[in-house]
Structure 1
Amino acid sequence: MNNVLQQFKDNNSIHNKRFYRFGRRVNRSGFYVSPNWFDQEFSKENNLKNVVKDGGIILRSNKIFDDEKKRQASLVNRIEKISVQLEKPFAVGEDYSLMMNRAISTPFDCAKHISQLVTERSALAIVDGTELWHMHQPLNRSCHLRFLHFKHPDTMPVNYAFWRSCSMLLARVVKRCFKEQFSVQILSQPISDLKYGSFICDAKISNLVDWKASPEELRTLTSLLWDETNKSTQFERLEVNREIANQLFSDNSSRLTYIESIKEDRFVVYRLGDYIELCNEPMIANTNQMNSMYLCAVHPLKTPTGEQFYRFQGIGLPKQLHINAFAYSLLRERAKNLNQIGFVN
């Protein structure tokens, strides 16, 4: 047992005892305990950030996300059929009438009944003509459904969703690209403002003062964006209550402040890979719908209180669209200019 468990101070405070797990879990007296007990006590640690580091916090947040997703799925204990009237996805042809499963089937599942082309290109859905719907969000009623893609006549909703998704993808890359000694806290939420010609990610990076990204570093970050788009990773959507939201973002003070400012007990979170973010508006279906992603600039800035943060700015194109290389190079040059979204003056 000495090889499995070490005990420091023998007093009544659990924070002054160290637990080790080797295979099955044990308590400090050598008796076996349940995994739930171990997780509950571990989550009470005041210095949880120092215990698990950034990687451990990411694993813990994803476990909370998975557990909540499974819990919500378990609430559907009876299969109910709903009627989905799907507007014709092509210029020719007729509308489709589908029988789907309530609270289980998603617009993506509906698209799979039509064709692979519809499945791959559909980035967003509209329910009953007005409500924007994420492609992987379960349908909760009989409805009329319309798919949006990047060449659809009604392009603005899907353009905004694309910009938000690019912003979230950039945040995921920024969160993971720095070495362990540089702790990264993402400040901005996914933004869909098109005015300045770039999507952004604001991040506070500890132990990094007045950093100016070199062209080589910009190319490295760009290559990481390309790696992510090639993975075809889905954007997963989940609605959670305030308690779960606080647990998911326990390491991010800016998110906790935002959660505290909202009166409603309902929050929409998205997950991309292992990165989790708050966002009320829908994302596109997956990263394979993105193309020509570039990180164009990193601007060192300061908050009104004098704290330094960095604004990462990028640009991208939907995979479905193509543009002249010279014209796109001009857009990339424009995206280097400081994106002033959120500035008072």
Structure 2
Amino acid sequence: MSAVTKLIKPNLGALRQLQQYRNIVNLSATAALRSRNELFSQEQRRQREAVGRIEKIEVRYLGLPEDVTLVMNNHISTPYNCAQHLSEGHCKRAALALIDGTVPWDMHRPLQESCTLQLLNFNVSEPHLVNKAFWRTCSFMLGAALQRTFKDEAKLELHSFPGPNIKSGSFVHDIVLGTQSWEPTKAEMRAISAEMVKLSAQDLRIERLEVDKDVAIEMFKDSRYKSEQLPSIAQQNQGRVTLYRLGEHIDISRGPMVASTRFLGKCTISAAHKVASEGAASAFYRIQGVALPSGFTLNHFAYGLLEQRSQKLNSARLPNEPFEEQQQQQMQLS
């Protein structure tokens, strides 16, 4: 974005050198992204092939139009596959699953044993779990939108996003930029918001994959901050790391998340706070936004109040603060 590029008027030779440098950076970033996605897909296939002999499980669906028992494939069938046996409407509306009445479960995550199943949408009587998954998904999508929006000269690096706290009034993603003085214009904030809406329109499935620490380290070897975070994350999860993917964007999160980007409705990226310096030329920024699930509407005045509230600096743990084990549950790395 223009606000984070140094405006100079180089001579012709300098222009050529700058273009060559940009080509190298582009190639490196593209290669790293391609490698990360290839490793994700390879591990996904390996885990599917490792299932071996297919065992049947009974999934007792509880809900409208009536309770029903489905016979599904263990470690293969997902809540979404169960929804496909019910109706197209269930597939479209279900954002999150609830297993055995207590465990929130991603719609595209394979089931691991016989269980009861409830399909949650945003109109359920107790929406806390699905709202929390939606807020987390908004942060995840914001990371993807930021990577699509910023120019290479900005030297954008994704750091992390705090665990969802709906009462805070904003979803968050923390980043590092190669400037100490970024003050985004309204047009730049609208550009990020527009990218979020584009992601929603693409109806991208959100995939979950749990991998060994060594696989995760290889996938994020080009990312300084992810590489620093991974050992501690794996230590808290018996050497495993949970990843999510939408399109080509992959990040670390405990989850769960909603089933698809299409569940994002009206969205505003409302604030960018500089929260700390990072070396001589870079700084941490906290990007914040507010959103409604698709199909939900508010009048202009009410939504404006939500936008104003979301501009206040979110009080979640800052990315430059020391990482403490007991704080991990409050982070995206959770």
Contact 2:161 2:172 in 1 (8 A): no
TM-score, length-normalised on structure 1?
0.80
Q: CA deviation at 1:52?
A: 4.5
Q: Give deviations 1:110-146, integer Å, cap 9, x for gaps.
A: 1111112211111111111121110000011111111
Q: How far apart, in 1, do the equivalents of 2:258 and 2:66 lie?
A: 25
Q: CA deviation at 1:305?
A: 7.3
Q: How far apart, in 2, do the equivalents of 1:190 and 1:279 lie?
A: 10
Equivalent in the alignment of 1:319:
294
Do the aligned partners of residues 218 and 304 (structure 1) sit closer, same or farther apart at CA in structure 2, a change above 3 Å counting? closer
Q: CA deviation at 1:67?
A: 0.6
Q: How many residues align?
A: 292
Instruction: Work out whether 1:290 is the aligned partner of 2:264.
Output: yes
Instruction: Work out whether 1:333 is the aligned partner of 2:302.
Output: no
Q: Give deviations 1:80-110, integer Å, cap 9, x for gaps.
A: 211110001x3xx420111111111100011
Instruction: Work out whether 1:276 is the aligned partner of 2:250.
Output: yes
Instruction: Work out whether 1:205 is the aligned partner of 2:180.
Output: no
Between 117-126 and 178-187, report the one with greater CA deviation.
178-187
Instruction: Work out whether 1:193 is the aligned partner of 2:165.
Output: yes
Q: Percent identity?
A: 35
Equivalent in the alignment of 2:191:
220
Alignment of 1:57-206 (within 5 A): 57-88=32-63, 90=64, 93-189=65-161, 191-206=163-178
Q: CA deviation at 1:195?
A: 2.7
Equivalent in the alignment of 2:241:
267
Point out where structure 1 has 5 or more consecutive residues left out of the alignment. 1-48
Do the aligned partners of residues 246 and 312 (structure 1) sit closer, same or farther apart at CA in structure 2, a change above 3 Å counting? same
SS at match of 1:187: strand
TM-score, length-normalised on structure 2?
0.83
Q: How far apart, in 2, do the equivalents of 1:213 and 1:113 lie?
A: 48
Q: CA deviation at 1:65?
A: 0.3
Do the aligned partners of residues 190 and 196 (structure 1) sit closer, same or farther apart at CA in structure 2, a change above 3 Å counting? closer
What code does the residue aligned with 1:238 have? L
Q: How far apart, in 1, do the equivalents of 2:279 and 2:188 lie?
A: 28
Do the aligned partners of residues 333 and 137 (structure 1) sit closer, same or farther apart at CA in structure 2, a change above 3 Å counting? same
Equivalent in the alignment of 2:226:
255
Q: How far apart, in 1, do the equivalents of 2:297 and 2:275 lie?
A: 34
Q: How far apart, in 1, do the equivalents of 2:82 and 2:162 lie?
A: 27
Q: How far apart, in 1, do the equivalents of 2:277 and 2:106 lie?
A: 33
Q: CA deviation at 1:335?
A: 1.1
Q: CA deviation at 1:190?
A: 5.4
Q: How far apart, in 2, do the equivalents of 1:316 and 1:124 lie?
A: 18
SS at match of 1:73: helix
Q: CA deviation at 1:303?
A: 5.1
Q: How far apart, in 2, do the equivalents of 1:98 and 1:323 lie?
A: 38
- Give the helix-richer structure, 1 or 2: 2
Q: How far apart, in 2, do the equivalents of 1:64 and 1:133 lie?
A: 24
Equivalent in the alignment of 2:212:
241
